[in-house]
Amino acid sequence: MYLAIDGGGTKTEYLLLDEDFRMLERYFGGCVNHDFLADGWEGTKRELQRGTKAVLDRQHLEISDIKNVAAGLSGVDNGKDQEQMDKIFREIGFERFLVCNDGFLAVWAECPGGVGVAYNCGTAVCCAGVDQAGGMEKTAGFDEWSGDAGGGNWIVQNVFRLVYRSAILDRKETAFTAAYKKRFGLKTEEDILNSWNMLKDPVTYPECSRDAIGLFFEQLEEGEEGAELLARQMIHCAVRNIRAVMQRLTFSEEPVSVILTGSIHTKAANQVYLERLERRMREEIRVPFTLDLASKPPVEGAVRRLKQEGR
């Protein structure tokens, strides 16, 4: 049996595969990113154990029945993270496994031959690439520390920041502020301040985060000044990271496949934003490339990697 895992900052997908790599069971568990869990790495280990046990129990299997695991996990951002995650997998009981950042899953799932670059904007931001020689490089993933801009958390925080600065600090009614108040049914400054409690708790109030993100893209389509400012920051971050990963790898064939993945790109973003992003990429990235939106679940990349490694 084989196990493919896509672990994110919100949910984790587990696929149990038979000897011919056909799916036997699928299970969705919680966040496994140590940065988002109150008890850090202990929480990561607990969630991985819980999810693994749940998917194995359905087939009355044990850890020892798993021949190989391929896991792409949010929060594996540097060498220390990699060491800790490898240690956790050994402690859980896996003998053979490949663990990497979840950004690589989209490359293996979407790019021809598993070669290319994937720029992810989901809960957070990540850029990962794989070249023909198997070289793997990753940038972003450290939030404010690496200047990431464009993940869901970042958008929600900056939507509130725009409204706070105009409505509370400047006491100025902008188009963005008016739209924000209308979207959330707010009337007073106190209402605006109270809305922060819901936005900073996306687990309890997921619809509020979705509304804030949707509001941003709507206002961008309207040409609102604040939304324009945020979009420029997001696009600047995207181009710099994609270009950096391309420069760190050696692609022997062109054009290079570039995939935009994550819920911000594939679900939330409108055509206005995506067209601006592509135009800026064409202007600043000199290496020929193709650009596509992800169409497959990232866990498919883990499945393909297991198939490549074979039995």
Residue-wise pLDDT for 187-237, tens only, equals 999 999 999 999 998 878 889 999 999 999 999 999 999 999 999 999 999
Q: Would you state the pLDDT for residue 157? A: 96
222 vs 299: CA distance, rounded Å: 36
Instruction: Single out the residue of 1, 6, 2 nearest to residue 27, CA to CA.
Output: 6
Q: Would you state the pLDDT for residue 183? A: 95
Domains 2-101 and 103-297 share a fold: yes
Chain-wide mean pLDDT for the chain? 95
Query: Architecture of 2-101 per CATH?
Result: 2-Layer Sandwich (3.30)
Q: What is the pLDDT of residues 26-36, one digit of tens each?
A: 999 999 999 88
**Could you tell me what percent of the chain has a pLDDT over 70?**
100
How is the chain split into domains, by residue range?
2-101, 103-297
243 vs 281: CA distance, rounded Å: 9
**What does the pLDDT average to over 254-262?**
96
Q: Would you state the pLDDT for residue 198? A: 94
- What is the pLDDT confidence band of residue 309, given thresholds at 50, 70 and 90? confident
Query: Architecture of 103-297 per CATH?
Result: 2-Layer Sandwich (3.30)
Q: Would you state the pLDDT for residue 299? A: 95
Q: Are 237 and 147 in contact (CB under 8 A)?
A: yes
**What does the pLDDT average to over 92-113?**
95
Instruction: Single out the residue of 103, 18, 27 nearest to residue 303, CA to CA.
Output: 18
How many C-beta atoms surround the C-beta of residue 2 within 10 A? Answer: 25
Using CA atoms, how far residue 241 sits from 62, 120, 141, 258, 311, in Å, is: 41, 10, 11, 12, 35
**What does the pLDDT average to over 119-130?**
94
Which strands form 116-121's sheet, in the order they lie side by side?
Answer: 136-139, 125-130, 116-121, 256-261, 289-293
Q: Determine the distance from the C-alpha atom of residue 155 to the mean position of all C-alpha atoms in its chain, rounded to a whole number.
A: 13
- List beta partners, residue 136: 130
**What does the pLDDT average to over 144-157?**
95
